[in-house]
Amino acid sequence: MNHETMTAADYLNSLATDIHATVVSTVDADNKPQSRIIDTLYAKDGKLYFTTGKTKDFYAQLQDNPNLAMTGLKGEETLKSFAITVNGEVRDAGTDLMPEIFEAYPYLNTIYPTDEKKAQLRVMEVYTGTVSIYDLRETPIYQNTLAFGESAGQNS
């Protein structure tokens, strides 16, 4: 990972491909924090994508308040690890990317084996925000935060 040449889009891609499993936090209707582990599935055109069911509390929380915090960690030991955190806004991107996502991650067919279960899914798009890197493998420790999407002055 060459931090000098990495862009926000590169870090989003690393979060989806190198780390994949992330802790995502939202707030519920009572403004209480809620966290869960999800698979960050896809990065494309400087945006990040994951899926959730439209009947889940997670989906409702994102509809009520589109802000989230997402962190993933790669590495087995503290000084041989790096973390990527995204603070951003999310919107429902529908289902257009679903075939691409299911092709890239065939295990999803095991989790969602029927058309009925797949019909409950929505692709969620993190379209603007910041991505932060904290790389403990570097000396000195590398830290940086980059804006993406509308936060970086890009129109979506």
pTM comes to: 0.90
Confidence of residue 155 (pLDDT cuts 50, 70, 90): low
Is 2 contained in some domain? no
CATH number at residue 90: 2.30.110.10
What per-residue confidence (pLDDT) applies to 154? 66
Which residues face 48 on adjacent strands?
A: 43, 126
pLDDT classification of 12: cutoffs 50, 70, 90: very high
Burial class of residue 84, CB neighbours in 10 A (0-12, 13-18, 19+): buried
The span from the CA of 50 to the CA of 151, in Å, is 20
Q: 29 in a domain, yes or no? A: yes
Residue 91 lies in a domain: yes
Report pLDDT digits (tens) over 135-152: 999 999 999 999 999 877
Residue 3 inside a domain? The answer is no
What's the number of domains the chain is made of? Answer: 1
Residue 69 has pLDDT above 80, yes or no: yes
Tokens, residue 95 = 């289902």
pLDDT at 6 exceeding the cut of 90: yes
Percent of the chain with pLDDT over 90: 80
Is residue 39's pLDDT more than 70? yes
Residue 75 has pLDDT above 90, yes or no: yes
Within a domain: residue 117?
yes
Residue 104: give the domain boundaries. 8-152
Q: Give me the mean pLDDT over the 33-41 stretch.
A: 94
pLDDT of residue 128: 96
Domain presence at residue 41: yes
Whether 1 is in a domain gets the answer: no
pLDDT value at position 153?
A: 73
Q: Is the pLDDT of residue 156 over 70?
A: no
Sequence-distant (≥ 6) Cβ neighbours of residue 41 within 8 angstroms: 16, 20, 49, 50, 51, 101, 104, 105
In this prediction, residue 90 carries a pLDDT of: 97
